Amino acid sequence: MRGAAALDVHHQPAEHTPNWDRIISSPLERCREFAERTATVSNIPLEIDEQWQEIDYGDWDGMPIDEWRQVAADQFRAFRKDITALAPPNGEDFMSFKTRILDAWQGLANLKESTHILIVTHGGVMRVILPTVLGMPLNRSFPLHIPFACLSRIVVEWEEDRFSASLLFHNGAEYAGGCDSDQS
Protein backbone atom coordinates (compact mmCIF):
# COMPACT_ATOMS: atom_id res chain seq x y z
CA MET A 1 0.00 0.00 0.00
CA ARG A 2 2.89 2.32 0.75
CA GLY A 3 4.32 1.74 -2.71
CA ALA A 4 0.99 2.29 -4.43
CA ALA A 5 0.54 5.57 -2.56
CA ALA A 6 4.17 6.65 -3.23
CA LEU A 7 5.17 6.66 0.44
CA ASP A 8 8.58 5.58 1.73
CA VAL A 9 9.15 2.96 4.44
CA HIS A 10 8.39 5.58 7.11
CA HIS A 11 5.15 6.59 5.36
CA GLN A 12 6.75 9.87 4.30
CA PRO A 13 5.49 11.18 0.96
CA ALA A 14 7.75 10.96 -2.06
CA GLU A 15 8.17 13.86 -4.45
CA HIS A 16 5.29 12.65 -6.65
CA THR A 17 2.91 11.72 -3.79
CA PRO A 18 -0.40 13.56 -4.10
CA ASN A 19 -1.13 16.26 -1.55
CA TRP A 20 -4.17 14.74 0.11
CA ASP A 21 -6.18 17.04 2.34
CA ARG A 22 -8.28 14.26 3.89
CA ILE A 23 -8.14 10.49 4.31
CA ILE A 24 -11.25 8.34 4.62
CA SER A 25 -10.79 4.70 5.56
CA SER A 26 -12.68 1.52 6.09
CA PRO A 27 -12.60 0.52 9.77
CA LEU A 28 -11.25 -2.93 8.89
CA GLU A 29 -7.73 -3.43 10.19
CA ARG A 30 -5.87 -3.84 6.90
CA CYS A 31 -7.12 -0.45 5.70
CA ARG A 32 -7.42 1.40 9.00
CA GLU A 33 -3.83 0.78 10.14
CA PHE A 34 -2.39 2.10 6.88
CA ALA A 35 -4.72 5.12 6.92
CA GLU A 36 -3.95 5.95 10.56
CA ARG A 37 -0.21 5.81 10.02
CA THR A 38 -0.36 7.83 6.81
CA ALA A 39 -2.62 10.45 8.40
CA THR A 40 -0.36 10.75 11.45
CA VAL A 41 2.90 11.03 9.51
CA SER A 42 1.43 13.48 6.98
CA ASN A 43 -0.71 15.40 9.50
CA ILE A 44 -3.86 14.88 7.42
CA PRO A 45 -7.38 14.64 8.92
CA LEU A 46 -8.62 11.05 9.06
CA GLU A 47 -12.19 9.80 9.07
CA ILE A 48 -12.91 6.13 9.76
CA ASP A 49 -16.19 5.37 8.00
CA GLU A 50 -17.99 2.03 8.21
CA GLN A 51 -19.71 2.68 4.89
CA TRP A 52 -16.38 2.07 3.09
CA GLN A 53 -15.78 -1.41 4.52
CA GLU A 54 -15.86 -4.60 2.47
CA ILE A 55 -19.04 -6.63 2.10
CA ASP A 56 -19.85 -8.62 5.24
CA TYR A 57 -19.29 -12.24 4.22
CA GLY A 58 -21.04 -13.52 7.36
CA ASP A 59 -20.40 -17.24 7.87
CA TRP A 60 -17.91 -17.18 5.00
CA ASP A 61 -15.68 -14.52 6.56
CA GLY A 62 -12.16 -15.83 7.02
CA MET A 63 -12.94 -19.07 5.19
CA PRO A 64 -10.25 -20.12 2.69
CA ILE A 65 -11.46 -19.52 -0.88
CA ASP A 66 -11.21 -23.23 -1.79
CA GLU A 67 -13.37 -24.18 1.19
CA TRP A 68 -15.79 -21.35 0.38
CA ARG A 69 -16.13 -22.60 -3.19
CA GLN A 70 -17.07 -26.06 -1.87
CA VAL A 71 -19.47 -24.87 0.85
CA ALA A 72 -21.09 -22.29 -1.40
CA ALA A 73 -20.58 -23.92 -4.81
CA ASP A 74 -24.09 -23.18 -6.11
CA GLN A 75 -24.05 -19.58 -4.94
CA PHE A 76 -20.49 -19.12 -6.20
CA ARG A 77 -21.55 -20.22 -9.71
CA ALA A 78 -24.57 -17.91 -9.58
CA PHE A 79 -22.36 -15.08 -8.31
CA ARG A 80 -19.94 -15.46 -11.23
CA LYS A 81 -22.89 -15.14 -13.64
CA ASP A 82 -24.73 -12.46 -11.70
CA ILE A 83 -22.90 -10.49 -9.00
CA THR A 84 -26.24 -9.50 -7.46
CA ALA A 85 -26.82 -13.16 -6.50
CA LEU A 86 -24.30 -12.89 -3.66
CA ALA A 87 -26.02 -13.34 -0.30
CA PRO A 88 -23.66 -14.86 2.29
CA PRO A 89 -25.42 -16.62 5.18
CA ASN A 90 -25.58 -14.26 8.17
CA GLY A 91 -23.85 -11.63 6.04
CA GLU A 92 -24.69 -8.77 3.71
CA ASP A 93 -26.41 -9.38 0.40
CA PHE A 94 -24.82 -7.71 -2.60
CA MET A 95 -27.68 -5.30 -3.28
CA SER A 96 -27.50 -3.93 0.30
CA PHE A 97 -23.71 -3.66 -0.06
CA LYS A 98 -24.07 -1.82 -3.37
CA THR A 99 -26.55 0.64 -1.83
CA ARG A 100 -24.21 1.26 1.14
CA ILE A 101 -21.22 1.91 -1.13
CA LEU A 102 -23.12 4.18 -3.51
CA ASP A 103 -24.46 6.13 -0.50
CA ALA A 104 -20.86 6.62 0.68
CA TRP A 105 -19.86 7.65 -2.85
CA GLN A 106 -22.68 10.20 -3.03
CA GLY A 107 -21.68 11.41 0.44
CA LEU A 108 -18.44 12.72 -1.04
CA ALA A 109 -20.54 15.53 -2.49
CA ASN A 110 -20.75 16.90 1.06
CA LEU A 111 -16.96 17.28 1.13
CA LYS A 112 -16.70 19.97 -1.51
CA GLU A 113 -14.12 21.81 0.61
CA SER A 114 -11.74 18.86 0.23
CA THR A 115 -9.86 18.87 -3.02
CA HIS A 116 -7.85 15.67 -2.79
CA ILE A 117 -9.18 12.74 -0.76
CA LEU A 118 -7.47 9.39 -0.25
CA ILE A 119 -10.03 6.64 0.32
CA VAL A 120 -8.51 3.47 1.75
CA THR A 121 -10.93 0.66 1.04
CA HIS A 122 -11.34 -2.83 -0.47
CA GLY A 123 -11.57 -4.63 -3.81
CA GLY A 124 -15.29 -5.32 -3.49
CA VAL A 125 -15.91 -1.63 -2.93
CA MET A 126 -13.93 -0.85 -6.08
CA ARG A 127 -16.08 -3.39 -7.97
CA VAL A 128 -19.00 -1.05 -7.25
CA ILE A 129 -17.29 2.34 -7.65
CA LEU A 130 -15.30 1.73 -10.84
CA PRO A 131 -18.22 0.36 -12.90
CA THR A 132 -20.36 3.25 -11.62
CA VAL A 133 -17.75 5.79 -12.76
CA LEU A 134 -17.27 4.00 -16.08
CA GLY A 135 -21.00 3.57 -16.70
CA MET A 136 -20.69 -0.19 -17.04
CA PRO A 137 -22.96 -2.88 -15.60
CA LEU A 138 -21.75 -4.27 -12.28
CA ASN A 139 -21.94 -7.77 -13.72
CA ARG A 140 -19.21 -6.77 -16.15
CA SER A 141 -16.73 -5.77 -13.42
CA PHE A 142 -14.90 -9.11 -13.32
CA PRO A 143 -12.53 -8.22 -16.21
CA LEU A 144 -11.27 -5.28 -14.10
CA HIS A 145 -7.98 -6.30 -12.51
CA ILE A 146 -8.16 -5.06 -8.91
CA PRO A 147 -5.11 -6.41 -7.06
CA PHE A 148 -4.18 -5.80 -3.44
CA ALA A 149 -2.83 -2.28 -2.90
CA CYS A 150 -4.34 -1.03 -6.14
CA LEU A 151 -4.39 2.74 -6.58
CA SER A 152 -7.01 4.33 -8.81
CA ARG A 153 -7.48 8.04 -9.31
CA ILE A 154 -10.92 9.46 -9.98
CA VAL A 155 -11.63 13.12 -10.57
CA VAL A 156 -15.02 14.36 -9.38
CA GLU A 157 -16.61 17.56 -10.65
CA TRP A 158 -19.58 19.27 -9.06
CA GLU A 159 -22.33 20.99 -11.01
CA GLU A 160 -25.05 22.42 -8.78
CA ASP A 161 -26.01 19.56 -6.43
CA ARG A 162 -24.77 16.71 -8.63
CA PHE A 163 -21.35 15.46 -9.47
CA SER A 164 -19.81 13.53 -12.31
CA ALA A 165 -16.72 11.40 -12.13
CA SER A 166 -13.99 10.32 -14.54
CA LEU A 167 -11.35 7.65 -14.09
CA LEU A 168 -7.89 9.18 -14.59
CA PHE A 169 -6.01 5.92 -14.05
CA HIS A 170 -6.47 2.52 -12.49
CA ASN A 171 -3.72 0.51 -10.79
CA GLY A 172 -1.27 3.14 -11.98
CA ALA A 173 1.27 2.40 -9.24
CA GLU A 174 1.87 -1.05 -10.74
CA TYR A 175 3.24 0.56 -13.87
CA ALA A 176 5.39 3.00 -11.90
CA GLY A 177 7.04 0.09 -10.12
CA GLY A 178 5.41 0.97 -6.82
CA CYS A 179 3.56 -2.27 -6.05
CA ASP A 180 6.08 -4.74 -4.66
CA SER A 181 4.55 -7.81 -3.11
CA ASP A 182 6.60 -7.41 0.09
CA GLN A 183 5.40 -3.89 0.83
CA SER A 184 2.58 -3.19 3.24
Q: How confident is the model at residue 26 (pLDDT cuts 50, 70, 90)?
A: very high
Q: d(Cα 53, Cα 49) in Å, to the nearest integer?
A: 8
> In degrees rounded to 5, what are phi and psi of residue 108?
-65, -25
Q: Which of 20, 22, 21 is closest to 7 using CA atoms?
A: 20
Whether the predicted model's global pTM rises above the 0.75 cut: yes
Q: Which pLDDT tens digit goes with each residue over 123-177?
A: 999 999 999 999 988 777 777 888 888 888 888 887 776 778 888 888 765 554 4
pLDDT score, position 28: 95
Q: Is the pLDDT of residue 113 over 80?
A: no
Domains of the chain with CATH codes: 1-55+92-184 (3.40.50.1240), 58-91 (no CATH)
Q: d(Cα 124, Cα 146) in Å, to the nearest integer?
A: 9
Residue 96 Cα distances to 21, 71, 102, angstroms: 30, 22, 10
Q: Within 13 A of 4's CA, how many CA atoms are on the CB side?
A: 23
Q: Which pLDDT tens digit goes with each residue over 53-73?
A: 999 989 888 888 888 878 888
- Average pLDDT over the chain reads 81
Q: Which pLDDT tens digit goes with each residue over 122-137?
A: 999 999 999 999 998 8
